[in-house]
Amino acid sequence: MGLEQTMAYKLYFLLGSVGPVLGIICCAILFDRIGGYTDEKAVRLCGMFGLGGMICGLGSVAVGDNAISCALLIMFELFCGAFVMPACTGIMLNQVPPKLRTMANSVANFSYNLFGYLPAPIMYGFFYEMGDSKHNHYGLLSIQVFTVLAFCGFTLAYFRHRYVIRKYQHVEDFNFINLEGEVIESK
């Protein structure tokens, strides 16, 4: 992208620390104000920030060789990701019976690492090498496409959850519903 080395270091610092740290701080403040992960606004708030992160991620590919714009878009994408991850983990753990929460958290973290963090550099390098010049954006695009898949999965889970809640709103004091939609534990 034609940057001087010192400017590249400054942008890397900005991307890797400022965006995610501010995302986690904002997540804690906002979710504390709305009442935590169990509030109905929590899922919508995660959806809005997820959509914002997806748009910024895809926008970072679209700006091409403008390093500053690309860096700022990726920083905001990392801000949104850091905002959404702890909130979605909390929401997910609230959907699991208490005796299974430790296992659910372990499976979630294992999945984040196996399907997210582990293949990302390999995919980036593979698709970058497929390009015909040093200014191709195939590597970045290969990573950003997964933001669309993640947002689609989140949207499907949101509408499935709303369907189950509406279907069983006549059942008083239910806690948990299995994948088939049956109440598995009542208060």
Residue 110 lies in a domain: no
More confident residue, 81 or 184: 81
CA neighbor of 186 nearest in space, from 8, 178, 102 = 178
Residue 102 lies in a domain: no
Between 3-7, 18-22, 109-113, the lowest mean confidence (pLDDT) is in 3-7
Give the model's pLDDT for residue 187. Answer: 45
pTM of the shown model: 0.79
Round the average pLDDT of the chain to a whole number and report it.
Answer: 83
pLDDT in tens, 4-16: 888 888 888 878 8
Residue 44 lies in a domain: yes
Structural contact between residues 92 and 43, judged by C-beta atoms closer than 8 angstroms: no
Residue 106 lies in a domain: no
Is it the case that residue 175 has pLDDT exceeding 60? Answer: no
Residue 100 lies in a domain: no
Question: Which two structure tokens, joined as six digits, stand for 171?
Answer: 């059942």
Structural contact between residues 138 and 127, judged by C-beta atoms closer than 8 angstroms: yes
pLDDT class for 136, splitting at 50, 70, 90?
Answer: confident
- The secondary structure of the chain as a DSSP string is ----HHHHHHHHHIIIIIHHHHHHHHHHHHHHHHTSTTSHHHHHHHHHHHHHHHHHHHHHHHTTT-HHHHHHHHHHHHHHHHHHHHHHHHHHHHTS-GGGHHHHHHHHHHHHIIIIITHHHHHHHHHHHHSSSTT--HHHHHHHHHHHHHHHHHHHHHHHHHHHHHHTTTSTTEEEE-TTS-EEEE-
As for how many domains the chain has, the answer is 1
Write out the residue range of the structural domain in which residue 166 sits.
Answer: 5-95+115-186
Residue 18 lies in a domain: yes
What percent of the chain is predicted at pLDDT more than 70? Answer: 87
Nearest-angstrom CA–CA distance, 108 and 46: 17
What percent of the chain is predicted at pLDDT more than 90? Answer: 22
Residue 53 lies in a domain: yes
Amino acid at 57: G
The neighbour count for residue 37, using CB atoms within 10 Å, is 19
pLDDT class for 120, splitting at 50, 70, 90?
Answer: confident
Q: How many Å separate Cα 149 from the centre of its chain?
A: 10
